[in-house]
Structure 1
Amino acid sequence: MTLVLEAEKLCVERSGKRVLQDITFDVRAGEAFALLGGNGAGKSTTLLTLLGFLAPAAGTVRVNGRAVQDDVAAARAAIAYLPEAAALYGHLSARENLRYFLSLAGAPSSAEAIETALDSVSLETAARANRLSEYSKGMRQKVAIALALLREAPILLLDEPTSGLDPVAIDEFHALVRRLAGAGKSVLMVTHDVYGACQVAHRIALLRKGELVGRFTAPENGRIDTEVVHAAFVGRQAA
């Protein structure tokens, strides 16, 4: 299977301190992959390195087979990044936000394409003309994902995507991520949510204090065992 994201023996230092040590993992085409860890595990540092904002002290990161540091622009062009708090404008509607940000990216889309993207994330039609200041966080997340889809980037990086969402919105988000992976998108979800990772991911890598300490793979037509991953997450058993 084609590898779209790779970290190989990755070491990263910040402020003179080693925060990632010999990290190796990969994300395949059409796969939902979760990088799971608590606060301070090194998840955000990994994302920043994949996006080219941090340079490895050792090892390498590759996007579509090419080292990120060799062509940062090409790496970022292949990735749609969804931060924990998407920077959308509250005084604009969903449609207006999409049109505006797509124009900034030099990738304007037709009204039909925008509606199709909003359909794909199940944003209610009646809400699309409303200001985002009236939206719940879950609705704002849907708009941000629609923007990522309209950019037509093959890789999605999701940073704590369900933080602050209610249970219904979380279930909707998980279903959306599974649909996206099923449609061929490659999804890397960085999260501390054990349940969410097990619900969504084909594979999970467990990160603790800058080191990978566990790997888990979903059985065919099944999901990763939440209890097993939770026990490893809290350190009750070897991962």
Structure 2
Amino acid sequence: MSIAFDGHRAVNDLSLKLELGEVYALLGPNGAGKTTTLNMILGFLQPDSGSIHVDDVDATTDPLAARARTAYLPETVMLHPALTAIENLTYFALLAGRKLDATTARGLLGDAGLLANAHDRRAGGFSKGMRQKVGVAIALAKDARLLLLDEPTSGLDASAANDLSDVIRNASQRGLAVLMATHDLFRVKDVAHRLGILRAGQLVDERDAASIGPVELERLYLDRLAA
């Protein structure tokens, strides 16, 4: 898929395929085209060429159906501050067409890593990491097939980032395909099965995450961006 703005190719002939249960890390600096790629998958931007399929649904011709199979976790998860975690989850699940009872909602929040003592607290006092966990619970409630994460570790401390890694692994084990746009090389080695390096809208390298060490990955990343 490709897209240009004012004659500038923001994404150029990008081809990605994720299997269910796979975690793919799309690496690149700001301006590389990562968020633009996610916005095309979500149907917010129409590619100039190419096709996008989510669970065999063509996202370019039927974006609503594709979006129903997709969950999106932005860099900042917006929740209703006056509602509790349980209330936020049940409200957003209802918008997606699923009615949750309290037991199911608590189970999903627990699966997303939110401690039980936070389930009945108002979201206005939540940290970024806690809001992300509610966001993941919303994705699980939606029964999505694809989870998109945009810079998920930005602004998180080490403990919250480790918690997020556990959440991503859990989503993978539940059979979700996970595409995370990030420049966090350390976290990539921690959770991803495959990684791709995006530079100026082009995929310039792709590797199995298990085949490359952290020092080698950092060197490869810097070399590819400097080429």
TM-score (norm 2): 0.94
Which residue of the partner structure matches residue 229 of structure 1?
217
Which residue of the partner structure matches residue 82 of structure 2?
91
164-173 or 174-183, which moves further after superposition? Answer: 174-183
Determine the C-alpha separation between the residues in 2 that align with 1:26 and 1:35.
Answer: 12
Deviations for 1:15-59, whole angstroms, at most 9, x for unmatched residues?
Answer: 442111111121111101111111000001100111111111122
Determine the C-alpha separation between the residues in 2 that align with 1:29 and 1:238.
Answer: 33
Letter in 2 for 1:87: M
Q: Shift of residue 237 of structure 1?
A: 8.8
Which residue of the partner structure matches residue 188 of structure 1?
179
* Coordinate RMSD, CA, aligned: 1.8
TM-score (norm 1): 0.89
Contact 1:50 1:61 in 2 (8 A): yes
Which residue of the partner structure matches residue 50 of structure 2?
59
Determine the C-alpha separation between the residues in 2 that align with 1:198 and 1:123.
Answer: 24
Q: Relative to structure 1, is the Cα distance of residues 64 and 105 closer, same or farther in structure 2, using a 3 angstrom cutoff?
A: closer
- Local SS of the residue matching 2:76: coil
User: Mind listing any 5+ residue stretches in structure 1 that lack a counterpart?
Assistant: 1-9
Determine the C-alpha separation between the residues in 2 that align with 1:11 and 1:150.
Answer: 32
Match of 2:21 among 27, 30, 47: 30
Letter in 2 for 1:59: G
Higher strand share: 1
Letter in 1 for 2:77: A
In the TM superposition, what are the counterparts of 1:130-209 in structure 2 within 5 Å?
130-209=121-200
Q: Shift of residue 104 of structure 1?
A: 2.5
Letter in 2 for 1:37: G
Determine the C-alpha separation between the residues in 2 that align with 1:137 and 1:22.
Answer: 34
User: Mind listing any 5+ residue stretches in structure 2 that lack a counterpart?
Assistant: none
Determine the C-alpha separation between the residues in 2 that align with 1:63 and 1:174.
Answer: 24
Q: Shift of residue 141 of structure 1?
A: 0.8
Which residue of the partner structure matches residue 3 of structure 1?
none
Q: Shift of residue 67 of structure 1?
A: 2.7
Determine the C-alpha separation between the residues in 1 that align with 2:80 and 2:212.
Answer: 37
Are 2:66 and 1:100 equivalent residues in the alignment?
A: no
Determine the C-alpha separation between the residues in 2 that align with 1:143 and 1:31.
Answer: 22
Deviations for 1:100-154, whole angstroms, at most 9, x for unmatched residues?
Answer: 2222233221111101101112211112111112211111111111111111112
Letter in 1 for 2:219: A
Determine the C-alpha separation between the residues in 2 that align with 1:44 and 1:237.
Answer: 17
Match of 2:207 among 204, 216, 229: 216
Contact 1:82 1:161 in 2 (8 A): yes
Determine the C-alpha separation between the residues in 1 that align with 2:182 and 2:206.
Answer: 15
Higher helix share: 2
Give the fraction of aligned pairs with identical amino acids, expressed as a percent: 42
- Local SS of the residue matching 2:77: coil
Q: Which runs of 4+ in 1 moved over 3 A?
A: 236-239
Letter in 2 for 1:120: D
